[in-house]
Amino acid sequence: MMTSAWIQIALYLIILILLAIPLGNYIGKVMTGEKVFLSKLIAPIEKVIYKLLKVDVSEEMNWKKYAISVFVFSGIFFVLLFGIQVLQGVLPLNPEGLKNVRWDLAFNTTSSFVTNTNWQAYSGESTLSYFTQMLGLTVQNFVSAAVGIAVLFALIRGFVRVQKKGLGNFYQDVTRIILYILIPLSLVSAVALTSQGVSQNFKAYEQVDLVEPIVLEDGTVIEKGVVPLGPAASQIAIKQLGTNGGGFYGTNSAHPLENPNNVTNLIEMLSILLIPAALCFTFGRNIHDRRQGRAIFAAMFIVLTLATSAIVVNEQMATPQLSQNQTVDLTPHQQAGGNMEGKESRFGIAASSTWTAFTTAASNGSVNAMHDSYTPLGGMIPMILMQLGEVIFGGVGCGLYGMIGFVILTVFIAGLMVGRTPEYLGKKIEPYEMKMAVVLCLATPIAILIGSGIAAIVPSVADSLNNGGAHGFSELLYTYTSAGGNNGSAFAGFNANTIFVNLSTGFSMLFARFAPILATLAIAGSLVKKKKIATGAGTLATHNAMFVGLLIFVIVLIGALSFFPALALGPIAEFFGM
């Protein structure tokens, strides 16, 4: 009966590829200014925006100017979002009368959404007003995703252009990404979601009469239940598409009003990987060598498939603690069976496990099941996917430029082996690019290891744990992995809303986002000035199966060397103890 699970997973992956290829072409056209079917409708709006901004979009920015633009842009939104949260009590669209957000939580949430992480130390329905959700967070979901994609295109131009300085125009890139790609996709997705039961309104929460009143231990009788509402679908569509992942409700896409059935689950789950996968094909198209894009896609896809399978198998097996010597039926007969703790019955094992792999491979971080209650190894795989640096598809844009960091590392190592100057896509890779590629590849491990290392010796952090022993350590490790990987998913039992955790994860997210952006733009700035060298007999081919294998090897090697000791203390210890 596991067959049905395998068929589901295979179909999820096939549909993903079928959608990603045409979208990749479309994105490639949009970003080079070619005509697409939406041009007639959107081009006039685009012009109005440039006019209001008084910018000349034909002005090419060098890498420093591009970087300054990214930082100023993100900085302004940082101040704006922080301001909205700490003042939400006096702002409109707050029917539940939610209070101002505490400063440390506001700092954490701001860092989290500006960096496309969308880690949430709060529960949306009881903390944030509709105003904050739509004009603060929804906006960040769009713009932080746009920044990631824009930086990727600056890098692509660095490879394509020969002996130039300009990497493109930041205003134009961001505007096009939002107008042509993110808003149309989100609109379609959001409307489809509302048709299935995802909330979209500005009403106060509904109160309903419980069919069976609840009697509490102290004798209080509860006769009413609450139905939280709000403009959820519009935010959920973009949180999935932009690899943001921050839920409208606290339990994210496990919440039935955020992800009510398997139609919405399919839409939301495919949305996670849609743009990151499409960008691989865009990359191949725009550098005029589609094989290169396919090779990178293949490397990512292989790791994703392996990870998904490993999670499914472990979750279906569940644990002896749940099985109770077969008193509990774990077989997939008229039910999903397996480890259903923390999983929704409508999703079962296959759709929950696939989502878990997708969301941690991409730096999305939304969940449709609670990772904290996964089996030890089922919970370790998502951790590893994040620790690999969020390059198995990764965040929109940032996943691919992170992967190119690893590609540079791989051609360097391969170059050493054959004794030739490494090159990639016709550009020589020299010490400067190597240094920056190392920053790009090691930013995540540094953020994770230092973050979790410090947290492990701070006494107050122990109070945040929901479980003891090795699993407790996993909760802590997962938290800092998620922040350092800019992922945002959680072992949600961990109480992250303390001043120390809010500040430490906040800084960790900012570092892991902006250090790689700076390194990527520096690489792009250096590459764009270089000559193109002709491919010769000694050029290492970067599009064949051997290179794909080598690339995977390098990624796994760096991940394993960095994280094996920490994983041994957490999930692996828990596995052997069960």
Residues 55-84, interacting with other proteins (CB under 8 A): 55, 65, 68-69, 72-73, 76-77, 80
In the stretch 479-518, what mask flags binding to other proteins with x, by CB under 8 A? ------------xxx-------------------------
Q: Which amino acid is at 530?
A: K
What tokens were used for 298? 């293949």
Nearer to other proteins, 94 or 200 (CB): 200
In terms of CB distance, is 182 or 510 closer to other proteins?
Answer: 182
Q: Taking CB under 8 A as the criterion, which residues in 8-47 touch other proteins?
A: 8, 11
Q: What is the DSSP string of 195-241?
A: HHT-----PPPEEEEEEEEEE-TTSPEEEEEEE--SSHHHHHHHHHH
End-to-end CA distance of the chain: 26
Q: Helix 376-387 and helix 545-567: axis angle, to 10°?
A: 120
- Give the one residue of 22, 33, 453, 469 binding other proteins; rule: CB under 8 A: 469
Q: 256: which residues sit within 8 A by CB, 6+ positions away?
A: 197, 344
Q: Which of positions 143-182 make contact with other proteins (CB under 8 A)?
A: 143, 171, 174, 178, 182
Closest CA to 370 of 206, 494, 552: 494
Is there binding between residue 467 and other proteins (CB under 8 A)? yes
- Concatenating the DSSP letter of every residue in 149-183 gives HHHHHHHHHHHHS-S------HHHHHHHIIIIIIH
Q: Which is nearer to other proteins, 174 or 279 (CB)?
A: 174
- Our finding on whether 578 is near other proteins (CB under 8 A) is yes
345 binds other proteins (CB under 8 A): yes
Q: Does residue 120 interact with other proteins by CB under 8 A?
A: no
- Binding segment for other proteins (CB under 8 A), chosen from 36-44, 234-242, 286-294, 429-437, is 234-242
Name 193's Cβ contacts closer than 8 Å, sequence gap at least 6. Answer: 200, 233, 236, 237, 264, 267, 268
Tokens 């090697």 belong to residue = 557
CA–CA separation, 480 and 484 (whole Å): 6
Binders of other proteins in range 392-411 (CB under 8 A)? none
Query: Closest separation between CB of residue 275 and other proteins, Å?
Result: 16
Nearer to other proteins, 11 or 416 (CB): 11
Binding status of residue 113 toward other proteins by CB under 8 A:
no
Q: Which is nearer to other proteins, 31 or 540 (CB)?
A: 31
Piece of the chain touching other proteins by CB under 8 A; list 370-378, 394-402, 406-414, 437-445? 370-378
Contact 28, 293 (CB under 8 A): no
Identify residues 427-466 at the interface with other proteins (CB under 8 A).
Answer: 466
Question: How far is Cα 182 from Cα 176, in angstroms, rounded to an integer?
Answer: 9
Nearer to other proteins, 117 or 259 (CB): 259
What CA–CA distance (Å, rounded) separates 552 from 547? 9
- Site stretch for other proteins (CB under 8 A), options 34-42, 138-146, 297-305, 503-511: 138-146
Options 50-58, 278-286, 476-484, 526-534: segment touching other proteins (CB under 8 A): 50-58
Q: Which residue has the tokens 């795989």?
A: 381
How would DSSP label each residue in 26-58? HHHHHHTT---TTHHHHHHHHHHHHHHHT--TT
Residue 77 and residue 114 in contact, taking contact as beta carbons nearer than 8 Å: yes
Window 250-309: residues binding other proteins (CB under 8 A):
250-251, 254-257, 260-263, 265-266
CA distances from 224 to 125, 202, 213 (A): 17, 21, 7
- Nearest distance from C-beta of residue 221 to other proteins, angstroms: 9
Segment 193 to 232, residues that bind other proteins, using CB under 8 A: 194-203, 205-212, 214, 216, 220, 222, 224-229, 231
CB of 166 or CB of 256, closer to other proteins:
256
What character string, x for contact with other proteins (CB under 8 A) and - otherwise, covers 310-329?
--------xxxxx-x-xxxx
